[in-house]
Amino acid sequence: MMDIMQPPMNTESWFNLRMQSTGVAVLLQQWGIASPLALAAERLVIVALIVIAALVANFVARRLIVRVLHSLFRRTQVTWDDRIAERGVLLRLSRVAPAMIVYAGATLVAPETAWVSEAIRRGASAWVVLIAALTIASTIDVFHDLYRASPVARQRPIKGFVQLAKVVLLIVAAVIILTTILNQSPLGILSGLGAMSAVLLLIFRDSILGFVSGIQLSANNMVQIGDWIEMPKYDADGDVIDITLQTIKVQNWDKTITTIPIYALVSDSFRNWRGMTESGGRRIKRAISIDMRSVRFVDQQMLDSYRRFSRIRDYIDRRQAEIDAYNSEHHIELADCVSGRRMTNLGIFRAYVTTYLQQHPMIRKDMTFLVRQLPPGPTGIPIEVFVFSADQRWPNYEGIQADIFDHLLAVIPEFDLRVYQEPSGYELDAIARALRDAKSAD
């Protein structure tokens, strides 16, 4: 290759060299055009011909070949060729054609200055490398699209790995382009990048952390697209809609989007409701606070009243028989409430709740089923329902839960119990009026 710093030729030597390559300048000179203008016109003609040839090659590749192939793809029964057309794999590959024309015609532009031809060839080669990298990236997208259509894609998303592969591909392409343009060994460029490793680590910190975290999330099956997760630290409460190399997107129930760094799902805690979805049931955990002053032993009149309820009639008879047998065995009088055993209205109500839920068609009987009494507190005695609904859909689940507690709140007075409720402003006003009326009467 001719040295760039070599002294330029004189006009006569240059013209003689051009005459050896083409007759355009000679023809123009015969028409009376001076040598410098003839040489300049010849160069413009050659450049124009190369540009026209490149445009024709681009037209043939893109307008004819690609369109014909895409038309054939649409007529087939398989889907992978449709993905190739949608991702523009052939369209990007067609852009190599004009670059090859430019590469082939580089020596005709300036044969007397080899460095110009070499620069054009290097530029065309770099363009081919770039197009090849973009074509491979589109091909990776095609494989990703086909994978996403498979059933396993929901459980094992690979979008993060696809993005990482593209990043590595573009880095390799950038190194090859630099070596092509600068005419240097790749080892020299890589050694220079090694000196910048600290800076590169800072630039690609999130990508590296995301890649490692993505491997852990995928290996442990911690989160999938479609999972309902809660992460209070990031105000995230909704469905996972996208998992990338660096972030995970959560669509909250108010339709806002929360973006979380993917490594945060490994370093911080979060709640995944997938277990609930896969279990086939959804937990109902709610308590009713009973006023402690309404709890009492039941007498015969109350028992006769409670026997009206078919759900607990057998329970009352069986329980009363056990209590009578115990008291008779230990010679305890019925009036002795301290030494003997007696049923309470609260215990009978708890038995009613248990039987009611056992007969409810939308409550899972094969999962945790519990009606329990929590420790008494300033707000009364909580009677907690801990069961699972058979319908997991949110609206239906809320409807089942509301119907259950609507019924329980309505039947509580039938057991001579009262729900604890803090005094409202209306009640306080009524008390104040009653006190004023009593004071005025005095």
Amino acid sitting at position 309: F
pLDDT digits (tens, 9 = 90+) for 329-351: 877 776 666 667 888 999 999 99
Of 36-40, 88-92, 127-131, 202-206, the range with the lowest mean pLDDT is 36-40
pLDDT for the residue numbered 249: 92
Is the domain defined by 217-279 classed in CATH 3.30.70.2660? no
Q: Which residue, 167, 192, 189, 168, is CA-closest to 180?
A: 189
In DSSP terms, 373 is beta-bridged to 383
User: Is pLDDT of 125 > 60?
Assistant: yes
Q: Where are the domains of the chain?
A: 11-203, 217-279, 282-296+344-425
**What span, in angstroms and rounded, lies between the C-alpha atoms of 4 and 271?**
66
- d(CA 40, CA 23) in angstroms, rounded, equals 13
For residue 19, pLDDT beyond 50: no
| pLDDT class of 34 with cuts at 50, 70, 90 | very low
Instruction: Using DSSP bridges, classify how beta strands 257-261 and 381-389 pair: parallel, antiparallel or unpaired.
Output: unpaired
End-to-end CA distance of the chain: 123
Which residue's entry shows tokens 């002795």? 336
Residue recorded with tokens 């592969």: 165
Backbone angles phi, psi at 419, to 5 degrees: -80, 135
What pLDDT, in 10s, does the model give residues 285-329?
Answer: 999 999 999 999 998 899 989 999 999 999 998 998 888 888 888
Query: pTM for the whole thing?
Result: 0.56
CATH code for the structural domain at 282-296+344-425 = 3.30.70.100
Cβ pair 251, 341 in contact under 8 A: no
Residue pLDDT, tens place only, 380-426: 999 999 999 999 888 999 999 999 999 999 999 999 999 998 877 77
Query: Looking at 30-44, 149-163, 308-322, which range is the least confident one?
Result: 30-44
408 C-beta neighbours (distance < 10 Å), count: 19
